[in-house]
Chains A and B, each alone.
Chain A
Amino acid sequence: MLKFLMRRLGTMILTAFCLTFVVFFLTNLHPNLVKLAKTEASARMSDDQVNSWLQSHGYAAPLVSRYGEWLGLVPGWTGTNAETGKPTGRCVDPNAPDTPAPRYCGILQGDWGTSTVFKQPVSTIIGIRMGLTGLLMLWVLIVMIPTSLIIGILAGMREGSRTDRVLSTLSIASTATPEYVSGVVLIVLFGSTTVGLSPLFKSLGLLSSGTLFKGSASSAMDHITFDNFALPVMTIALYGIGYIARMTRASMTEVMTAQYIRTARLKGVSFRNVVLKHALRNALIAPFTVIMLQIPWLLNGVVITETLFNYKGFGWTLVAAAEGNDIELLLGCSVVAVVVVLLTQLISDIGYVYLNPRIRIS
């Protein structure tokens, strides 16, 4: 087990290095740097001025060594400001250039750089945004996991029955609805003042405010209520529910045809008990992996949903960073995203081994 873990961790770290390098390469392409220089200094710079700006801000060094600086394995660049004669450098605080600066300052030292769009340290921004997204994800998981497991078990319990057909078709429909579609449909149904259910409820006198649910979740950042958070949570959960339910159903139908289930039925155990005590435990191994592997996909859903509902969490920040050419922030976001993906893969592997004692790792 230990050897397996070490090997997995080794691959994981290698993958993380490769991925961050690719992101670093793609965000530091020359046109991006030129754009950065023009937004930071002046939009009407000549090519020579752009080059000298890049030179004096440490962007002229080879890509690999700048990647090393960003990681914190290579000493940060240093120089002197041409006008004031004060030292400048990657690790020098621009507000207090005379204080002695550390030699290394990369993400390994905990220095994630400064966002050019928000003018704040990247680590603070990501911390706050991740907190907001964490809340969203928490509610999504609370809604998604029980619903999908119940649907999957009910459908897989009696394969081919009418319940099975109805629930399976519903799950297919929900996997066919990407977040930007379900979000739009949900807002039109519940969050619109002109169409959908809200005007109907209002004319019946059941509703005092404008709409049933709010079509924007920006107020949920301060204070989560049912009516400002229900739609975004449903939007993300819907897509996952269908997928997990189908996996649970597949695993449940397989278990229900096993010999020990037939034995249990033949010795007179009630159907209810067979399902709850014998089948369920074995049927839930596969969905566990699926749920863990679904989390990276939720990250995509989060980006779309946060943009659609204007909830300023991690996904919204990623979009803002990418659109504002905010290199440091985008790098920070990708590190977080990549770590989340790799960690969930690791947990799902380990969990699978723990849950299924038939798998031996040597």
Chain B
Amino acid sequence: MDALTPGGILVQVLLRFVPVWIALVVTLVASFIFRRRLGLYGKLFDSPVGMVGLFIVMFWAYTALFAGMIITHDPLDQVVQLKNAWPGAAAPKSEAGYPWYIFGGDNLARDVFSRMVMGARRVLIIAPAATTFAYMVGITLGLPAGYSGGRLDTILSFVANLVLAFPVILLFYLLVTPAIRQTGVPIYLAAVLFLFPILFLTVLWNSRYFTSPWKRNIYVGLTLVIGFWAYSGLAFNADPLGVFTMDSNMLNVFVSVVFVNSPTVFRIVRGIVLDIKSRDYVAAAQTRGEGPWYIMLWEILPNARGPLIVDFCLRIGYTTILLGTLGFFGLGVSPESPDWGSTINAGRKLLSIYPYPAFVPAIALMSLVLGLNLLADGLREESLRD
């Protein structure tokens, strides 16, 4: 096989992403047809910026989903002849399988393209999950702080400001090290942080259905059973059935990212609650004699959803940047891991001679974050319109 020309590279890349294109066309056409019934999501199709953002984000989401079909080589396979190869280089005849390294090879002779695609999977699992957890923590603490104020608010705000005053990188260097894993600090942090989703859902169901105890018991019971089952597996790696597990490296990274993000979410939620709690419908609920948690979770929170959804998108992007930063400093990831931050870090040493191993994941990371930011911008525009 000959090496690919630039045009050939483009054709091959487009061909490799065929599953993604099909999925994208199906989803986007379906969403476009039913856009009037899809609420805020449907309205995105009225804003060009939002549409571009949605397209990019969906592209990466499907890439992560179909990564196994897209990659041309195993992300850890080495073909010695293709060490530091240029994009489109042909594999030697003796090698079976896909004949080219589409985006070249890195300094350990691995395929840059396949690593980039597999890296998407890792980022797109951790970033949204960590952001969701940070939201659970931020909402569960921010609602009572804003609603009842007083000493609780003072203490929580002080702690939040404390975490925010830390330079992020210093915090990462202190929290994500092999030494700290020996002491068990990440597990304690996880034990505290992972309780919040269970707490949030329990209070949510309880405050809504406490008038019909039967329904309430089912919802709360299910939450507690599934919640603590996942909790035992994720935080302590002690799931009796072995369904939920988390590798200790990943747990460490996950916990620190949640820890860094929660105080900001807390401040946003608190600010919105302070604004909303003087509205008439809150006063009406108070007069009806609703409990404080019902008012916070079922009166205030739904009305705060606009800014929260926008910030959620932005925050996934920010979390992606944080994960990249961790990888860039080689914190909490194994050297073989294909995640974008550590590939950039590995590639930067030979950057001025062999730029591709670092350049490709850099562009991938940038496009994902850009997509999320554009999506957030589109959502903001559309949610402000009504």
Contact = CB atoms under 8 A, between A and B. Distances in A.
Interface of A: 11, 15, 18-19, 22-23, 26-27, 29-32, 35, 168-169, 172-173, 175-178, 180-181, 184-185, 187-188, 191-196, 211, 215, 296, 299-300, 303-304, 307-308, 318-319, 322, 325, 330, 333-334, 337-338, 341-342, 345
A177 B362 CA distance: 9
Contacts of B377: 168, 172
Contact of A26 (B174, B347, B352): B174
Q: Which 9 A-B pairs have the closest CB atoms?
A: A176-B370, A322-B173, A31-B179, A176-B369, A26-B174, A188-B355, A181-B362, A184-B362, A178-B321
A18 to B, nearest CB: 6
B49 interface: yes
A15 B351 CA distance: 41
A317 to B, nearest CB: 12
Contact of A180 (B174, B325, B374): B325
Given A26-B180, A337-B170, A308 B348 contact: yes
B169 interface: yes
Given A181-B324, A188-B351, A318-B169, 7 more contacts: A29-B180, A31-B183, A172-B373, A173-B370, A175-B373, A177-B370, A338-B165
- Tell which of B167, B168, B180 has the most Cβ of chain A within 10 Å: B167
Given A184-B362, A187-B352, A188-B359, A341 B328 contact: no
Nearest to B345: A180
Given A172-B373, A304-B325, A337-B170, A181 B344 contact: yes
A195 B352 CA distance: 8
Contact of A337 (B167, B180, B351, B365): B167
Interface string B275-292: 000000000000000000
Contacts of A173: 370
Given A30-B183, A181-B365, A341-B167, A176 B373 contact: yes
B341 interface: yes
Contacts of A178: 321, 324-325, 365-366, 369
Nearest to B179: A31
Nearest to A185: B362
B353 A193 contact: yes
A12 to B, nearest CB: 9
Contact of A172 (B174, B347, B370): B370
A334 B168 CA distance: 11
B175 A26 contact: yes
Nearest to B340: A181
A125 B158 CA distance: 32
B47 to A, nearest CB: 11
Nearest to B355: A188
A342 B174 CA distance: 20
19 contacts: A15-B162, A26-B174, A26-B175, A26-B180, A26-B185, A31-B180, A172-B377, A178-B365, A178-B366, A178-B369, A180-B345, A184-B348, A185-B362, A185-B363, A192-B353, A296-B167, A300-B168, A303-B169, A308-B348
Interface string B169-205: 1100111000110110100000000000000000000
B170 A180 contact: no
Nearest to A214: B352
- Tell which of A180, A319, A334 has the most Cβ of chain B within 10 Å: A180
B161 interface: yes
A308 B166 CA distance: 22
A338 B369 contact: no
Nearest to A192: B352
Contacts of A338: 165-167
B209 interface: no
A177 B321 CA distance: 8
Interface in B337-386: 341, 344-345, 347-348, 351-355, 358-359, 362-363, 365-366, 369-370, 372-374, 377
Given A192-B351, A341-B167, A176 B317 contact: yes
Given A26-B175, A176-B373, A184 B49 contact: no
